[in-house]
Structure 1
Amino acid sequence: MNNQERRDLELPYIADAEVFEEMKVARRHMQIYNTTDRSDFETLTKLVRGFLGKSGNNVFINPPFYFDYGKHIEVGDNFFANYNCTILDVAKVKIGNNVMFAPNVAIYTAGHPLHPEARNSGYEYGISVTIGDNVWLGGNVVVTPGIKIGNNVVIGAGSVVTKDIPDNVVAAGNPCKVIREITEEDKKYYYKDRVFDEESWTKING
Structure 2
Amino acid sequence: MNEKAKMLAGELYNPADSELAEMRLRARMLFEELNSVSQQDKLRRDRLIKQLFGSTGEQIQIESPFHCDYGENIHVGENFFANFGCVILDVAEVRFGNNCMLAPQVGIYTATHPLNPVERRSGREYAKPIAIGNDCWIGGMAVINPGVSLGNNVVVASGAVVTKSFGDNVVLAGNPARVIRTINSES
TM class, shorter-chain normalised?
over 0.9
Q: Does 1:115 align with 2:116?
A: yes
Say which SS state the counterpart of residue 94 (structure 1) adopts: strand
Query: How big is the shift at 1:18?
Result: 2.0
- Equivalent residue number for residue 138 of structure 2: 137
Q: Which residue does 2:2 correspond to in 1?
A: 2
1:137, 1:30 → 2: CA distance? 21
Q: Describe the SS at the equivalent of 2:125.
A: strand
Say whether 1:32 aligns with 2:55: no
Q: Which residue of 2 aligns with 1:99?
A: 100
Q: Deviations over 1:21-72 (max 9, x none)?
A: 1111111111111111233222211211111100012111111110001000
Aligned-CA RMSD value:
1.1
Contact 2:14 2:125 in 1 (8 A): yes
Q: Which amino acid aligns with 1:29?
A: L
Gaps of 5+ in 2: none
CA–CA separation in structure 2 for the residues paired with 1:100 and 1:76: 11
Instruction: Give distance in 1, aligned partners of 2:114 and 2:40.
Output: 42
In the other structure, the counterpart of 1:74 is 75
SS class of match (1:13): coil
Which amino acid is 2:50 matched to?
A: R
Of the two, which has the highest radius of gyration? Answer: 1
Judged with a 3 Å threshold, the aligned counterparts in structure 2 of structure 1 residues 25 and 184 are, in CA distance, closer, same or farther, namely: closer
Q: Quote the residue 1:197 is aligned against.
A: none
The alignment partner of 2:175 has SS state of coil
Which amino acid in structure 1 is aligned with residue 5 of structure 2?
Answer: E
User: Normalised by the size of structure 1, how large is the TM-score?
Assistant: 0.87
1 or 2 for the larger relative contact order (CA 8 Å, sep ≥6)?
2
Q: Structure 1 unaligned runs (5+)?
A: 188-206
Check conservation: 2:153, 2:185, Cα contact below 8 A: no
CA deviation after TM superposition for structure 1 residue 184, in Å: 5.5
Partner of 2:152: 151
Identity %: 46
Q: Distance in 2 between matches of 1:164 and 1:49?
A: 28
User: 1:6 is matched by which residue type in structure 2?
Assistant: K
CA deviation string 1:93-136 (max 9, x = no partner): 00000100000011000011112111001110111000000000
Q: How many residues align?
A: 186
Does structure 1 conserve the Cα–Cα contact (< 8 Å) formed by 2:169 and 2:185?
no
Aligned positions of 1:36-51 closer than 5 A: 36-51=37-52
In the alignment, is residue 174 of structure 1 matched against residue 169 of structure 2?
no
* 1:14 maps to 2:11: no
